[in-house]
Amino acid sequence: MIKLFIADNYNLTESELEAIRSLGYEITLARPNQAPSEVCENHEEMEVALCEHFYLKAHLGEMPNLKMVQMTVAGFDNMGPVIFDTYKNTKFYSGSGTYGVSLAEWTVGKTLEIYRQAARFEGYQKQHKWSWEGSTQTKELWGKTVLVLGTGDVGSACASRYKAFDCKVIGLNTTGRAVPGFDSCCTREQLPEILPECDVICVAIPRTEKTLYLLDEETLSHCKQGAVLVVNSRGRLVDETALCRMLDSGHLLGAALDCFETEPLPEDSPLWEQKNLIIYPHCAGVTMGLRNRYVKRYLENLARYAKGEEPVGLIRYERGY
Amino acid sequence: MIKLFIADNYNLTESELEAIRSLGYEITLARPNQAPSEVCENHEEMEVALCEHFYLKAHLGEMPNLKMVQMTVAGFDNMGPVIFDTYKNTKFYSGSGTYGVSLAEWTVGKTLEIYRQAARFEGYQKQHKWSWEGSTQTKELWGKTVLVLGTGDVGSACASRYKAFDCKVIGLNTTGRAVPGFDSCCTREQLPEILPECDVICVAIPRTEKTLYLLDEETLSHCKQGAVLVVNSRGRLVDETALCRMLDSGHLLGAALDCFETEPLPEDSPLWEQKNLIIYPHCAGVTMGLRNRYVKRYLENLARYAKGEEPVGLIRYERGY
């Protein structure tokens, strides 16, 4: 039996745990706030863990013999160095590929809310006011150009949905290589010439050393008048101060952010009150359906590991995700 | 020159008016609140009018020799009898076909707002509260079954967008005939067996004698627990009292209505405060893009009329739309 440690953030059901056992695992369960050493004496013998990188960091060294760690998160970000130093011989697998659907639905939904001025009409409802005021100024996705930064699972899921609204969709990736589902692809070097054509900019790119502040003040300045920005991946890809100035000036029509420079966003952050900004607490990917997808991923990857096959979603630290 | 009367709700630009003149028309322009007899002496000589049915009804008999009336509205509804009696020899053309894009974007947008509990997270933002509470209970469109009542321009535009979110889309029409873009189609007689399977019900059907209160209390009772209702066509297709009871009981997760039993919705209507109900003041179809589409339609139909060709969108009174 393979010794499996689960720091259960996911409320796995008894039948799901049974399915894992039947793959050849002996399970030790911890609540998210319990250290491995609080739950069992043989924590050093654990071979596989289902947990997040921050759980490992909090209890660094308590499970030194892990060979495989399956996470739900898609990005490793700045949690990397200390964990990779400690776990030199451990393979980490992300939940990458399970977030596309939920993030894309959120992204398109928020674009439509901004375009159709949902907040204005909610205000009318609260005032019991039957009014068309402003309606003729609302926008449609039809015929618009959408730039999606990132052409992976999330970016592609966004692209296919925007396409159904008759948008032209341009993807951005490292090499500008063509990706199915995008009308064309470009590199970051092309941003100054491409941004002026884009009505919607969707940020669905991992944060790595290379992408940090990809949308800095200078790059943002190339945005089309009235453009909309939606960020569903990570903070510190967009210069928040420049973004707020552009929302204030009306250069940007609106923005929706799920990720921020500092998380959790402090209660006294001015962002909460920023005009034309929708704030989401980094759970745009969290839905009932997400749970189904990562439980499926757990089972698939644990089955592969047990059979000696390579699981899905290996994190390559040198690449950054 | 053909004598054309325009009751200008649409702020046609000088270049658009010039384009109409160049088709062979002599234009008389009125503001929406001006009667034809206030604007010109030869109102009885008008041959073509760009105006809505309610404008004609308000000034009944002032332009008795109209051969063609081009409206923007898509539905003739109960305005019909008195106008058709007066204008027996006049052909009326609707704006049908220009609303699909804007209504479908609104419809999918509102479904996503309800599924992702947009109002909850807006509340968090207002309170400067960083919280995931409730997020794991939010729903995705992915894999859901959507029933679209009506398989015309609007219903089809809704269908293609829901399909991009990986929904199964069932259409309802008079005969149950297959329509491209729908996975299958059914008739109203099949509603009791089909409704229990449907996660989202979208009402995009004209209101006629036959469709009046299509979703009455009995029919609504067949809805699946947790279903969502979105109405983008006309009021008096859904029993509002039964709907509110089902929203209160939680049988329905939420609803968005653009059209109501009584319009404008009275300030003291309890609907304004109804739990889980989004109210829109019958302008879900009104966008900047809509204007472009109906101006294009005007020009196309006026060109056809001038050349003796049949314009697009003839209203067939016996059919009801």
A268 contacts on B by Cβ (under 8 Å): 128
What distances in angstroms separate CA A121 from CA A124, A127, B120, B244, B247, one per listed residue?
Answer: 5, 10, 16, 20, 20
pLDDT value of position B78: 63
A137 contacts on B by Cβ (under 8 Å): 288
CATH of A100-279, one of 3.40.50.720, 1.10.10.10, 1.10.8.290, 3.40.91.50: 3.40.50.720
Secondary structure class of B3 (helix, strand, coil): strand
The Cα–Cα gap between B53 and A250 comes to: 39
CB B78 within 8 A of CB B53: no
Q: In the predicted model, is pLDDT for residue A155 greater than 90?
A: yes
Grade residue A10 by pLDDT with cuts at 50, 70 and 90: confident
Residue of A133, A193, A197, A263 marked active site:
A263
The Cα–Cα gap between A246 and A225 comes to: 10
A267 contacts on B by Cβ (under 8 Å): 128-130
Q: Closest by alpha carbon to A171, among A203, A143, A128, A139?
A: A203
* Tokens representing residue B253 in the block: 């997760």
When scoring A280, A290, A296 by the number of chain B Cβ atoms within 10 A, the one with the most, hence best to mutate, is A280
Q: Is residue B263 annotated as part of the catalytic site, yes or no?
A: yes
Please state, as a whole number, how many other Cβ atoms lie within 10 Å of the Cβ of residue A125.
Answer: 19
CB contact under 8 A, B116 and A263: no
A257 contacts on B by Cβ (under 8 Å): none
In degrees, to the nearest 5, what angle opens at C-alpha A141 toward C-alphas A287 and B138?
A: 10
For range A99-110, the mean pLDDT: 98
Fold agreement between B2-98+288-306 and B100-279: yes
Distance in Å, alpha carbon of B235 to nearest chain A alpha carbon: 15
What's this model's pTM, rounded to 2 decimal places?
0.94
Alpha helices (runs of H) in A97-149, residue ranges in sequence order:
100-115, 118-126
Amino acid at B135: S
Domain boundaries, chain A: 2-98+288-306, 100-279
**b/e per residue A22-41 (b: at least 16 CB within 10 A):** eeebebbebeeeeebeeebe
Task: Please give the CATH number for the structural domain made up of B2-98+288-306.
Answer: 3.40.50.720
pLDDT tens digits for chain B (321 residues)?
999 999 987 789 999 999 999 999 999 999 988 999 999 999 999 999 999 988 999 998 899 999 999 999 887 776 667 788 888 889 999 999 999 999 999 999 999 999 999 999 999 999 999 999 999 999 999 999 999 999 999 999 999 999 999 999 999 999 999 999 999 999 999 999 999 999 999 999 999 889 999 999 999 999 999 999 999 999 999 999 999 999 999 999 999 999 999 999 999 999 999 999 999 999 999 999 999 999 999 999 999 999 999 999 998 877 777
CB A78 within 8 A of CB A100: no
pLDDT value of position A75: 75
Nearest CA in chain B to A260: B130
Please tell me chain B's helix, strand, coil percentages from 3-state DSSP, rounded to the nearest 5: 35, 15, 45
Rg of chain B taking only CA atoms, in angstroms: 22
Nearest CA in chain B to A103: B140
DSSP state at residue B224: P
For range A174-184, the mean pLDDT: 98
Percent residues over pLDDT 70 in chain A: 99
The Cα–Cα gap between A201 and A230 comes to: 6
Q: Which residue has the tokens 């051969």?
A: B67
The half-sphere exposure of A33 on its side-chain side, counting CA atoms within 13 A, is: 0
In degrees, to the nearest 5, what angle opens at C-alpha B106 toward C-alphas B204 and A223?
A: 150
What distances in angstroms separate CA A56 from CA A53, A72, A136, B310, one per listed residue?
Answer: 5, 13, 53, 73
CB B84 within 8 A of CB B249: no
Q: Is residue A282 annotated as part of the catalytic site, yes or no?
A: yes
* Tokens representing residue B82 in the block: 């008195």
Comparing CB atoms, the residue among A136, A164, A265 nearest residue B286 is A136
Q: Closest by alpha carbon to B164, among A244, A44, A109?
A: A109
pLDDT value of position B76: 73
Round the average pLDDT of chain A to a whole number and report it.
95
pLDDT value of position A32: 87
Q: Which residue has the tokens 């396409």?
A: A163
The helix (H) or strand (E) run that includes residue A148 is strand A145-149
Alpha helices (runs of H) in A118-259, residue ranges in sequence order:
118-126, 153-164, 191-194, 217-220, 240-249
The Cα–Cα gap between B138 and A192 comes to: 38
The half-sphere exposure of A216 on its side-chain side, counting CA atoms within 13 A, is: 7
CB contact under 8 A, B130 and A281: yes
pLDDT value of position A64: 94
